[in-house]
Copies of this chain bind each other. A is one copy, B any other.
Amino acid sequence: MNVTFIGAGNVAWHLAQALEDAGHMVQHVYSRRIQTARDLAGKLYKAEPTQSLDLTASKATVFFVALPDQAVETVSAQLQLPEHAILIHTSGTLPLDVLSKHALRGVFYPLQTFSKQKKVNISEVPLCIEATDDATAEILVGVAQSISNTVYLINSHERKVLHIAAVFACNFTNHLLAIAHQLTMQEGLEFHLLSPLIKETIQKALVSENPAAVQTGPAIRHDTSTIDAHLEYLSAYPAAQQIYQSVTQSIIEKAGHRSSKS
């Protein structure tokens, strides 16, 4: 299948190369900055870098809009595409309808975090597909299955919830590690002392049927003297203290809910 990328950032970088590895052909790479488009096109077989949003001459069937969320609607409204083109975006957040100027629309959301420096095995990345109609969905699922072993058809609401869950499980988790880093560094302790414990925690949570069932720590033990001592120490870090309170409260409530149900 012939495809074109509007955007040449992290997502485009990984998807375009994975698609060509699977036998697809990238026709054009658009970026506002021509050098960015050239950098990605240079990694591809015969893709042409372009700064023009008039892509009516492109031989592609599927056009990927892989841009920052806030640019997707504006840029896609300016796009000139060939007839019967399928326009898709790759965002976890945006509804299908931000592409509403175009008849055949879809979403192709890779549930992974990408950076250009780091190789990602796309075959293990879940791809979440949505489309305006069954025929378009079938085409997109086919493309997705050619590069990944995990392809799901989900609607905009499900994608939104998946994104919220990912914010908790990934963005917020990273911030908790950042707080742990700050606390240890401030005391002259090595953050990496915590690495084995962090790895074991994640592994246990992922193999468990439900992470709540393997919860440990002062909150689940109702160990109020430890909790109070920790909150007192954290008075020097008000934002972290606030998080400590809200997460502790939530652990206690969730445990109460579980035990009252059992």
Contact = CB atoms under 8 A, between A and B. Distances in A.
Interface string A176-197: 1111111110111101111111
Most chain B CB within a 10 A radius of its CB, from A180, A187, A245: A180
Nearest to A245: B246
B243 A250 contact: yes
Contacts of A150: 193
Interface in A149-197: 150, 152, 154, 157-158, 160-184, 186-189, 191-197
Contacts of A210: 178, 181
B161 A169 contact: no
18 contacts: A162-B194, A164-B183, A168-B179, A168-B183, A170-B217, A172-B243, A174-B204, A174-B211, A174-B214, A175-B212, A175-B215, A178-B212, A179-B250, A181-B211, A192-B206, A198-B206, A243-B246, A243-B247
Contacts of A111: 193-194, 196-197
- One complex includes copies of this chain to the number of 2
In which size bucket is the chain A interface? 35 or more
Given A197-B113, A215-B175, A183 B165 contact: yes
B176 A161 contact: no
A242 B246 contact: yes
Contacts of A191: 165
A51 B120 CA distance: 55
Contacts of A71: none
Interface of A: 69-70, 93, 111-113, 115, 118, 120, 124-126, 128, 150, 152, 154, 157-158, 160-184, 186-189, 191-202, 204-206, 210-212, 214-220, 223, 226, 229-230, 233-234, 239-240, 242-247, 249-251, 253-254
Contacts of A70: 223
- Pick the most buried of A166, A178, A181, A188: most chain B CB atoms within 10 A of its CB: A178
